[in-house]
Structure 1
């Protein structure tokens, strides 16, 4: 049995994934992952941080492959934050190169496997080559429905809310929206994730106990599962462990 918060105890290998089913929603439909710990994984091995990011891409491939088999329909992965631009130039360049390579090399394979690629964030601020490859991957896979792989790139929860509020303000100023008509649902429709349900489960690797500006609005009632495992070491087994823990929880959404 896992620790309810940290997931630091080895799972019971014999336990079924749905140890405490409570109806058709015992598995999360939408899982969001803060893929943390790439740099620390590399430094512990005496390697440059950039090597850790390369290893993190391999971990992402494994999780994307496993997700549909585990009943996950939407997988949102925090790939690059609005704050990551502050990192050393060589690290930022590596992350941008990996994004470009992933979209170029993985799009065809993901398409064959029924995965739809989506991207959220201030995509228009990325370098042109990255914008083009993301657009190509999104267009290629648009009709797929086995899994939505939602990449959060140049994404920040606060930036998302700022963009939503600017859009709302413009509608009010133009007379298309009355201020008193603004409620939570209207705000939601102006978010980057307007066409997606909120995440049921947020997974964070590398043990940090914070959201790091990730899906601030959407995570209001998400379950959170944290593991000390660095992202490059995260496998299908760890994902199953998180889902087992999720299945034991009771989601009340503020009710009794």
Structure 2
């Protein structure tokens, strides 16, 4: 299955446009790929607190202007929005769950895509984020520095180990890219679509432990029963085995003292 995750490039391109109009932007996209070809994730879309103070606008107003032409996520992706704040930015967190990967193919961008393809037991991620001047166009005076202050981050977690990647960094089963203004970031990664140690494996481990516990209990009960059967026999005294007095072989020898 091949799906085009245009959402990422859509957001990045929108942020570059937002820089021209407003200033500092934060985009933090986290995606968790699932073995059933669905994706869970969150996206933080926020603007600088300094910018809000400077313009006297609210985060909702500025984000509304930025996403007026296109939503934060492609059409068809159902999400829940909640407020987001940190020490520098204020905005929204968009949370989505159990979204079929091919749903992200909906929508259009400026001709760029990030594609995720299911190939056998692996996911392959291919694409790029081009934030060079040739792609974004010339910035207004003073906007270049604001663009450099953008916080852009894309993290894709695979169900299993990552075998290779380009342009990012690997931490466990997650590959993270941090596109920067003025650079073209290659986004490539291949990772397992099958989790190592998922719920199925855990279930079998628990079943095995349960069986082992039953065996141990059965052995303890059997040993206890055997001990109970043996205890009455141990309490019955057998015939005394007092050794008989020795009989002298010498007919002239004196009989043992005390004999009758």
Common fold by TM > 0.5: no
Q: Of Structure 1 and Structure 2, which has the larger fraction of its residues in helix? A: 1
Greater strand share, structure number: 2
Classify the TM-score, shorter chain: under 0.3
Flag the structure with more relative contact order, 1 or 2, with Cα contacts below 8 A and sequence separation at least 6.
1
Bigger radius of gyration: 2
Q: TM-score normalized by structure 2? A: 0.23
